[in-house]
């Protein structure tokens, strides 16, 4: 008997069998992929009077869970530091304000790579700059910092300040914005409809701990934040 | 024809390839056969291999757990002797002639008959030379019959949870039962309890502490029959305890938490509060674990699904399996604790759920915390929906010393009745009629349901020898130093 030929035939047969099994297994274990595209989703939402007035994000990177630490400074500490800081020069462009705030944050030990300027408001002599904590391009939703200038001097620093303390090792497979909107649709029970103005991926700590901040650190997990009807928000786990 | 070396090598390589492909085909077939998905592989964690499940043989079985809390012997002259159930051999014996054995035999042989009797008849029986097995926890009689016999008798449907089971030498072919609804029954046995009669005689002559009902000390003003020792020489000594974990050891706490969340730990939020408490939360409160600064672990889970309720015994098996997965009754330092069932309730949630409360012993004596029980488990809809654990380590050899006289039980009450009354008043444990009574001593004395002694520890990690006064079915306890009667603390559930 020609064992060499027999072995070759056996190898080919086993290869085919393995390929068949792998293909069948992979097809059977495809996770419940949403068999719906964006256009279909929009039609579905509009049937419930839900309209999207923003772009639906296409990207959803896999993210690690993040431990964030709550940072607090005493009022006396802040006031003492404010008193010691020089006023900004006349001119007062946005960049001047930003530079002053950046220096001040430096004195407080804020890691600048996580501080993201969002917008500025001016009202007569009061100028307020708003910042968020942002990690790898994703907002830490609970963290917001406000810096108030009166004239050309810092008057007040306020907000819930969180910094990243630790990334967990494993990356979480995040769901897509389309899947999040589908969840939103399935949970929507309102009769009047809604207008969605923003959809973004954020780090979220949950409602309970967002309200009562008397803790040192908390795990933030990725969630889709859907803003609708002029400021209402809903968070949908992105995993 | 000889093959050249190249052909030989090719042949060997092909053999290896065939072996590898065959193995991979077997693995793939296994994936299909056992329905293993990619998610199962991704969520596999080495932690699953190192989980601290204890051996089945180390976990208490139902028949080892559901035993009397204590057994008292009446000499027939008003004097009693009280023992832990494992100190006397009259409940379930090797020769099948203990109280539980006789009851089982009467059920299996079809002679079981339960006749309702009056309280007076029951008390008259107990006043003879007799044995009484006392159950502090609620064990449904029907479930108890399922445990000891092949099939519970029909009459067990209308008998509540067992409070006491008694045997009298004056009526050796009967057992007597008191349930938690204060109903009394005489139960026919298939054979006389001769061995039990011998037990009564033997234990009533033993040189141990003698007890009398409280009213025999305090006169007619008090109507309480709670047994109280005449005098007590005790060997108990104060000793140091160690909490099961240090809340500052974040890594250890994470390891403990993984036992509760295992495959879903990646999606668990961890919150460290300013108080030091650490909270783990899965699914926005669907499952929560709290590790507190006092060394307690508390787990809550919202019941899922519409599964029906389980029987008390079935729920016990679910609770037992869960305790087993969390390390059983071993402390984190590896000490094996001695558990006992302190309390239990069927249908505590009005939906057929069961609750089990375990205490631990140091030697023969209970080791209680002024704030938490050793283990509390609640089972609802077939799942553990609540679990709380408070373990401590200690050296048993430090817990005893040379015997010395304890303060008498009656003097402890006399010294502290005002304090006890004040605590009751502050915690709204007094009825309107009781508040109106001028004699606070009799109010306090009449309400005592049990007076025992053991060890109690609080926040300072010292377990102190103590008198334990129990009220309101263990919902309220007062603790006093065993030797000088000083107030140690109290606990209200």
The 3-state secondary structure of chain B reads CCCCHHHHHHHHHHHHHHHHHHHHHHHHHHHHHCCCCHHHHHCCCHHHHCCCCCCHHHCCCHHHHCCCCEEEEECCCCCEEEECHHHCCCCCCCCCCCHHHHHHHHHHCCCCCEEEECHHHHHHHHCCCEEEEEEEEEEEHHHHHHHHCCCCCHHHHHCCEEEEEEEECCCCCEEEEEECCCCEEEEECCCCCHHHHHHHHHHCCCCCCCEEECHHHHCCCCCCCCEEECCCEEEECCEEEEECCCCCCHHHHHHHHHHHHHHHHHHEEEEEECCCCEEEEECCCCEEEEECCCCCEEEEECCCCCCCCCCHHHHHHHHHHHHHHCCCCECCCCCECEEEEEEEEECCCCCCCEEEEEEEEECCEEEEECCCCCEEEEEECCEEEEEEECCEEECHHHHEEEEEECCCHHHHHHHHHHHHHHHHHHCCCCCHHHHHCCCHHHHHHHCCCEEEEEEEECCCCEEEEEEEEEEHHHCEEEEEECCCCCEEEEEEC
Question: Do residues B86 and B151 both lie within one domain?
Answer: yes
pLDDT band (50, 70, 90) for residue A209: low
Q: Specify the pLDDT at position A93.
A: 82
Does B464 lie in the same domain as B424?
Answer: yes
For B140, what's the count of Cα atoms within 13 Å in the CB-facing half-sphere? 22
Residues B185 and B255 in one domain: no
Last residue of a domain, which of B351, B366, B397?
B397
- Kindly state whether residues B302 and B366 are assigned to the same domain: yes
The pLDDT value recorded for residue B137 is: 92
Does B474 lie in the same domain as B363?
A: no
Instruction: Specify the higher pLDDT residue, B411 or B45.
Output: B411
Is residue B472 less than 8 Å (CB to CB) from chain A?
no
- In this structure, the answer to whether residues B249 and B295 fall within a common structural domain is yes
pLDDT band at A102 (very low <50, low <70, confident <90, very high): confident
In a domain, B34, yes or no: no
Predicted local confidence at residue A210, as pLDDT? 59
Residue B314's CATH number? 3.30.310.160
- Which CATH class, in words, describes the domain spanning A76-162? alpha beta
Q: Has residue B52 been placed in a domain?
A: no
**Cβ of B274 and A214 within 8 Å?**
yes
Per the domain annotation, does B54 fall within a domain?
no
Closest-CA residue of B relative to A222 is B267
**Do B248 and B181 share a structural domain?**
no
Candidates B142, B147, B124, B161; CA nearest to B62 is B147
Last residue of a domain, one of B192, B208, B224: B208
Tell whether the model's pLDDT for residue B172 goes beyond 70. Answer: yes
Q: Model confidence over A214-227: pLDDT tens digits?
A: 678 888 999 999 99
Domain boundary among B356, B382, B397: B397
pLDDT at A205: 86
Question: B154, B161, B164: which is closest to B140 by C-alpha?
Answer: B161
Q: Do B21 and A18 touch (CB under 8 A)?
A: yes
Residue ranges per structural domain of chain A: 34-62+173-237, 76-162
Query: Residue A218 is nearest to which of B7, B32, B271, comparing CB atoms?
Result: B271
The confidence score (pLDDT) of residue B135 equals 95
User: What is residue A191's predicted lDDT score, i.e. its pLDDT?
Assistant: 73
The reported pLDDT for the residue numbered B335 is 94
Q: Are residues B252 and B281 in the same domain?
A: yes
Element (H, E) at A75: helix A75-84
A223 in B contact zone (CB under 8 Å): no
Least confident segment among B47-61, B220-234, B397-411: B47-61
Whether B388 is covered by a domain: the verdict is yes
Q: Report percent pLDDT > 70 for chain B.
A: 94
Q: Is the same domain home to B392 and B405? A: no
Of A71-80, B110-119, B192-201, B277-286, which gets the smallest average pLDDT?
A71-80
CB contact under 8 A, A25 and B28: yes
> B479-489, pLDDT tens digit by residue?
999 999 999 99
Range of the domain at B427: 401-492
Residue B233 lies in a domain: no
In this complex, do A14 and B39 lie within 8 Å of one another by their Cβ atoms? Answer: no
Q: Is the residue at B221 inside a domain?
A: no
Read off the pLDDT of each residue in B349-374 and give the average, rounded to a whole number.
Answer: 94
B120-150: pLDDT as tens digits? 999 999 999 999 999 999 899 999 999 999 8
* Pick from B157-166, B195-204, B215-224, B238-247: least confident: B215-224
- Range with the largest mean pLDDT of A156-160, A181-185, A206-210, B128-132: B128-132
CB B310 within 8 A of CB B143: no
Our CA-based measurement puts residue A208 at a distance from the nearest CA of chain B, in whole angstroms, of 8
Rounded to two decimals, the pTM is: 0.83
Q: How many domains does chain B have?
A: 3
């Amino acid at each position: 008997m020609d064992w060499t030929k027999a072995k070759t035939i056996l190898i080919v047969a086993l290869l085919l069998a393995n390929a068949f099994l792998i293909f069948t297994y992979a097809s059977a274990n495809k996770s419940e992929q949403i068999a719906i595209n964006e256009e279909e989703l929009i039609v579905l939402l509009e049937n419930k009077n839900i309209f999207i007035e923003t772009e639906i994000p296409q990207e959803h990177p896999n993210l690690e869970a993040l431990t964030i630490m709550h940072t607090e400074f005493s009022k006396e500490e802040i006031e003492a530091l404010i008193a010691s800081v020089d006023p900004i020069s006349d001119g007062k462009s946005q960049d001047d304000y930003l530079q002053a705030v950046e220096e001040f944050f430096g004195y407080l030990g804020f890691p600048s790579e996580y501080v993201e300027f969002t917008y500025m408001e001016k009202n007569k002599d009061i100028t307020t700059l708003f910042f968020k904590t942002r990690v790898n391009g994703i907002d830490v939703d609970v963290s917001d910092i406000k810096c108030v200038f009166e004239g050309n001097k810092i008057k007040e620093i306020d907000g819930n300040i969180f910094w990243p303390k630790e990334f967990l090792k494993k990356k979480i497979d995040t769901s897509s914005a389309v899947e999040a909107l589908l969840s939103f649709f399935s949970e929507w029970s309102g009769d009047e409809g809604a207008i969605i103005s923003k959809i973004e991926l954020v780090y979220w700590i949950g409602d309970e701990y967002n309200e009562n901040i008397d803790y040192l650190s908390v795990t933030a997990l990725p969630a889709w934040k859907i803003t609708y009807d002029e400021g209402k928000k809903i968070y949908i786990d992105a995993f | 024809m000889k093959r050249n070396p190249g052909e030989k090598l090719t042949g060997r390589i092909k053999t290896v390839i065939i072996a590898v492909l065959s193995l991979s085909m077997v693995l793939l077939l296994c994936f299909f056969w056992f329905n293993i998905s990619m998610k199962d592989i991704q969520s596999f964690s080495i932690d699953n291999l190192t989980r601290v499940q204890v051996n089945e043989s180390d976990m208490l079985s139902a028949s080892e757990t559901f035993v009397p809390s204590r057994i008292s012997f009446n000499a027939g002259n008003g004097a009693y002797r009280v023992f832990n159930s494992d100190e006397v051999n009259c409940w379930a014996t090797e020769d099948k002639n203990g109280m539980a054995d006789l009851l089982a035999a009467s059920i299996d042989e079809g002679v079981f008959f339960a006749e309702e009797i009056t309280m007076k008849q029951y008390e008259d029986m107990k006043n003879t030379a007799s044995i009484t097995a006392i159950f502090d926890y609620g064990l449904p009689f029907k479930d108890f019959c399922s445990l000891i016999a092949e099939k519970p008798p029909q009459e067990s449907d209308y008998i509540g949870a067992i409070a006491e089971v008694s045997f009298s030498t004056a009526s050796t072919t009967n057992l007597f039962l008191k349930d938690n609804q204060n109903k009394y029954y005489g139960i026919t046995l298939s054979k006389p309890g001769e061995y039990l009669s011998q037990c009564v005689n033997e234990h009533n002559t033993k040189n141990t502490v003698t007890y009398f009902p409280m009213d025999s000390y305090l006169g007619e003003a008090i109507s309480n029959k709670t047994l109280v020792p005449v005098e007590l020489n005790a060997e108990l000594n104060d000793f140091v305890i160690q909490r099961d974990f240090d809340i500052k050891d974040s890594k250890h706490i994470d390891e403990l938490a993984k036992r509760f969340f295992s495959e879903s730990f990646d999606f668990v939020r961890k919150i460290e509060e300013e108080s030091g408490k650490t909270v783990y939360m899965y699914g926005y409160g669907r499952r929560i674990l709290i590790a507190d600064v006092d060394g307690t672990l508390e787990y809550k889970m919202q019941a899922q699904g519409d599964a029906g309720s389980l029987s008390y015994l079935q729920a016990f098996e679910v609770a037992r399996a869960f305790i087993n997965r969390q390390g059983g009754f071993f402390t984190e330092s590896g000490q094996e604790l001695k558990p006992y069932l302190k309390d239990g309730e069927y249908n505590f949630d009005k939906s057929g759920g069961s609750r089990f409360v375990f205490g631990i012993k140091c030697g023969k004596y209970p080791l209680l915390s002024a704030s938490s029980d050793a283990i509390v488990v609640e089972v609802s809809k077939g799942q553990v929906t609540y679990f709380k654990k408070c373990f401590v380590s200690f050296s048993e050899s430090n817990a005893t010393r040379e015997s010395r006289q304890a303060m008498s039980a009656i003097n402890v009450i006399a010294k502290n009745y005002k304090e006890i009354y004040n605590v009751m008043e502050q915690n709204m444990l007094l009825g309107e009629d009781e508040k109106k009574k001028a004699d606070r001593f009799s109010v306090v004395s009449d309400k005592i349901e049990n007076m025992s002694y053991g060890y109690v520890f609080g926040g300072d990690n010292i377990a102190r020898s103590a008198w334990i006064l129990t009220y309101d079915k263990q919902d309220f306890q007062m603790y006093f130093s065993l030797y000088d009667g000083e107030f140690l603390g109290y606990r209200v559930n």
